């Protein structure tokens, strides 16, 4: 379903003229040294295990998640929270192991996407949440939909996510290259950067999931309509035989053939791609709005932090800058078999209190919450935050759930493998479309 995100957009416009297990008890604002606790609990102590994909506990959203945990523990002396944190793909692999052994941690990070949440719900592994408990939490209209099945709620979203083109203003200024407004301008800019020995574009190709989102953008720029892919997934059309999809596949492969992508991009994971951009070694970073913390991450130089900016994905004759790949991002679910389900629910209520997650994530510059947050605008937002809000507020049509997440795990893997095959030259654009059609049949 294509959503226009109008409710939150209006509010915003009005307001602005490496995996580790952390054992956490009573903590100060700074995270203490890692410590593994034994399983012996003090009488009366409730232990919650929280499994998250926010692996960086010192920056961005992981830091905010940790701050809220710390504050909760300070107010609830009888509670201990053990946090296990891994990057996205290792996280998803380990969740499968936990699920197979019927041993999900009390609270897990979940995504309101069919490929992730449906198998867990169908297996009876996630607890139902009482939606009425969260009516005063001001979740954005439509943000809970992906976490529901048969009218029941099984999770809550953290973020409003959309894919953008981050760029280094200094690199472009020093090379005399304007910010690309169209795809053809982007190819031209990339060629000029290559000639000057600068990596043009970086993204995390090795993990696979960013490439289908990129293809959705390119396909929309050729068809003028995000819903054309939905029609294929619904069995009403095919990728094969559609000249616009073929042109989109050729364009995606063109990025690889013309060396617009950073050296070694096919083996770059998320951290490597992010660091390449943050260290000023690539001009563009194709990634989601959750990377708004690039402007505050002290692992990168002050020069970079002052020069990182965001722009919409370049337009075409058919696709506008206001046509944006956008959806609601990761959140949390509770294990149906948790022995401390009541405490887990209380923690989520605390976490999502607007004064906690929504306020802190926005004011720290670490992302855009899936809750109303205009009351927390300060007027002192950094340049990157303002740029992301401008993109979000201008959305006229959106993609909804990313392509690879609209089906089973088998579907997802086939979709990602097809894109990787296209980008490393193992298949032609026509063969790529056939692979997508084969994957789509799994959902029909």
Q: Provide the token pair at 189.
A: 């800019």
Contacts of residues 380-383 at CB distance under 8 Å and 24 or more positions apart, as own/partner, are 381/16, 382/295, 382/296, 383/295, 383/309
State the distance between the two ends of the chain, measured CA to CA, in whole angstroms: 17
pLDDT of residue 43: 58
| Domain layout of the chain by residue ranges | 19-86+104-159+329-372, 161-326+394-441
Mean pLDDT across the stretch 349-358? 98
Count Cα neighbours of 428 within 13 Å in the Cβ-side half-sphere: 4
For residue 399, name the pLDDT band (cuts at 50, 70, 90): very high
Alpha-carbon span 244 to 242, nearest angstrom: 6
Specify whether the CB–CB gap between 348 and 333 falls below 8 A: no
One-character DSSP codes across 276-299? HHHTTSEEEEEEEGGGGGGGT-TT
Per CATH, the homologous superfamily of domain 161-326+394-441 is: Periplasmic binding protein-like II (3.40.190.10)
The percent of residues above 70 in pLDDT, for the chain, comes to 90
Q: Which of 187, 326, 315 is nearest to 251 (CA)?
A: 187
Average the pLDDT over each of 82-86, 245-249, 362-366 and give the range with the smallest value: 362-366
Q: Do domains 19-86+104-159+329-372 and 161-326+394-441 have the same CATH topology?
A: yes
105: pLDDT strictly greater than 80? yes
Q: Provide the token pair at 420.
A: 């990787």
Average the pLDDT over each of 2-11, 288-297, 405-414 and give the range with the smallest value: 2-11
The pTM of the full predicted model, rounded to 2 decimals, is 0.84
CATH architecture of the domain with range 19-86+104-159+329-372: 3-Layer(aba) Sandwich (3.40)
């Amino acid at each position: 379903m294509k959503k226009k995100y109008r409710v939150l957009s209006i509010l915003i416009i009005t307001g602005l003229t490496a995996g580790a297990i952390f054992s956490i008890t009573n903590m100060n604002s700074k995270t203490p040294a890692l410590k593994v606790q034994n399983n012996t609990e003090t009488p009366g102590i409730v232990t919650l295990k929280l499994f998250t994909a926010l692996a960086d506990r010192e920056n961005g959203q992981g830091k905010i998640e940790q701050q809220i945990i710390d504050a909760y523990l300070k107010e609830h002396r009888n509670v201990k929270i053990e946090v296990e944190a891994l990057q996205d793909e290792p996280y998803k692999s380990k969740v499968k192991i936990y699920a197979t052994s019927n041993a999900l941690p009390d609270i897990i990070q979940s995504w309101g996407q069919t490929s992730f949440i449906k198998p867990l719900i169908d297996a009876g592994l996630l607890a139902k949440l009482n939606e009425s408990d969260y009516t005063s939490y001001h979740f954005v209209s439509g943000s809970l939909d992906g976490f529901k099945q048969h009218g029941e709620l099984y999770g809550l979203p953290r973020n409003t996510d959309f894919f953008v083109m981050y760029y280094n203003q200094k690199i472009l200024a020093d090379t005399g290259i304007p910010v690309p407004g169209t795809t053809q301008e982007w190819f031209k800019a990339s060629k000029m950067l290559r000639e000057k020995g600068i990596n043009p574009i970086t993204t995390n190709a090795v993990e696979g999931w960013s490439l289908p989102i990129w293809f959705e953008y390119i396909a929309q720029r050729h068809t003028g309509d995000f819903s054309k892919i939905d029609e294929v997934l619904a069995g009403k059309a095919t990728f094969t035989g559609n000249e616009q999809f073929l042109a989109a596949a050729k364009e995606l492969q063109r990025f690889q053939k013309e060396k617009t992508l950073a050296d070694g991009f096919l083996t770059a994971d998320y951290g490597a791609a992010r660091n390449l951009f943050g260290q000023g070694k690539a001009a563009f970073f194709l990634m989601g709005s959750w990377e708004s913390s690039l402007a505050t991450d002290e692992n990168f130089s002050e020069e970079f932090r002052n020069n990182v900016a965001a722009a919409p994905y370049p337009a075409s004759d058919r696709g506008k800058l206001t046509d944006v790949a956008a959806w609601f991002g990761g959140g949390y679910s509770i294990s149906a078999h948790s022995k401390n389900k009541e405490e887990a629910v209380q923690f989520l209520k605390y976490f999502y209190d607007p004064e906690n997650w929504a306020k802190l994530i926005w004011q720290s510059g670490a992302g855009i919450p899936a809750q109303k947050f205009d009351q927390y605008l300060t007027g002192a937002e950094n340049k990157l935050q303002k740029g992301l809000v401008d993109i979000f507020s201008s959305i006229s049509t959106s993609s909804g759930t990313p392509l690879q997440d609209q089906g089973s795990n088998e579907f997802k893997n086939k979709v990602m493998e097809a894109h990787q095959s296209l980008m490393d030259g193992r298949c032609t654009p026509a063969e790529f479309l056939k692979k997508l059609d084969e994957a789509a049949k799994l959902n029909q």
